[in-house]
Structure 1
Amino acid sequence: MYWRPVYDRLFGFFELTVANAQHMKAVPGHKTDKQDAEWIADLLQHGLLKNSFVPHREQQNLRGLTRLRTTLVQERARLVN
């Protein structure tokens, strides 16, 4: 969930790719913390990263409302119990 504010701010200005971290780790190669950004950029340039699904703005808003409703119903049930 940490990527969302950054994605929302940069959307429309750049071509953005949200990649699956598990898939990135599965690609063979050696990386360290210092070389992490270079490694990810190299994987992206060579087409070795798959794009993750990022829903459209309307669907994100609907999902957010659905999650909020679920949380409120659970909280209400917790208070009643």
Structure 2
Amino acid sequence: MKKIFLGLLLSFAFILASMDFNTASKQELMSIKGIGEKKAQAVIDYRKSNKINNLDDLKKIRGFGDKLVLKIKNSKEYNSK
């Protein structure tokens, strides 16, 4: 029972630790490998009229394809925020 509780607690902490693309600054977005100034600005422009519910929503933004989104999902920069 303790192991299950600990596992759930760690999973919850991991979710909270991920970067929020709806509120991240341009600099925070640019800290992720594969996102430069133009892509960071594209995210900021997109989120002015759309909510990013999950990383797959990034594919709706020009310049974000399957490979880049997968790279972001696996990046330490995204997962350490």
TM-score by length of 1: 0.26
Larger Rg: 1
TM-score by length of 2: 0.26
